[in-house]
Each structure stands twice: as structure tokens, then as C-alpha cells.
Structure 1
């Protein structure tokens, strides 16, 4: 099957929307699709696993010990244990894959 990932999750004003895709697609790694309204954030967190963040639409800033902005079509890797925060500079849809 072919899926349009960006169409699987919608923007909602002043909210973060997420959709778990791991079971739907039978994936071995935790895979979640997000839609952030402009200005929405996820506060500082860490993961025991490496993460891949792939931006499907918009622009996302990832704040670690520095600030990195990734745009539509770009992929960012985050090492396990790195404290990070996420901020949508504009409406943003991205895919997060946690590698176990």
C-alpha cells in the first residue's frame, strides 16, 4: 500500500496532534507522526534510544546544547540520552522513529 503520511495527521489550533504508526504498519521501531500548530512545543525530554526526526511539512527547531532548524524534506538524528526540546516555528508535520 502507498500512504500519504502528511494526510494521516491534521493540524489543530494551539495543539499537538500525534498518531502512532508502529502497529498500523507492523514496524519494529516506535514510529509516531506529529502535527504541531505554529508555536507549539514539547518541553525538555530524553530518550534511551536514538531518534530520527523527518520533517514532512513546515519547520521544526530542535534545541539541544544548540538550536537546529530542520525544514520539509530534512532528517535529523538525535543520539540516545541527549536532552532536547521541540518547537514548531510554523505549522509542522514530522515523523519520529525511535531506534531500539
Structure 2
């Protein structure tokens, strides 16, 4: 059995009205895009081995805490990406 555990995560507290857009983008890049990139890179081997993927999230995927809007937005997005990966694809695998 093969597996991938995505455990990336960053979080800096900001009130949303003051959060610099570069900071917000950084949260999305690490917490969502980075995990998807690693998953896509490993997916051919995982499919061949009939392996599993575990995306480690946080309570931020369920609730929004004060000053943690950028973190929780990214963790909510990770929940959505994980759900989408769980669904079988109707497209053939490339290559």
C-alpha cells in the first residue's frame, strides 16, 4: 500500500480588512495550491499502487475564527479540493 500525507499549513492572523493581498495569496498558495501540486505529482504512482491520499486540515476548514480569515479561507478551499479529488474523474488520465 502506498500513501501520500499532505500536511502543509501556514497561518498568520490578520483582520480581513487589513490583510495584504500578497499575504492572502501566500496562504492560498501554501495551504491549497501546494497540496494540490504535490498530489498531482504523486497521483500516477498512487493510482498504480492503489494508494491513499490524506490531506491534513484544521478546525479552520469548518469554522472561521477571529483574525484568521486568510487561514480559514484556505482551509475551506482544501476541504473542497479534497472532496473534488474523492469523486471519480470522467476524463482519462493524461499520458
Higher RCO structure (Cα 8 Å, ≥6 apart): 2
Q: Which has the higher helix share?
A: 2
**Fold match (TM-score > 0.5):** no
Q: Which has the higher strand share?
A: 1
Task: Tell me the TM-score normalised to structure 1 length.
Answer: 0.28
**Over alpha carbons, which structure has the higher Rg?**
2
Task: Tell me the TM-score normalised to structure 2 length.
Answer: 0.29
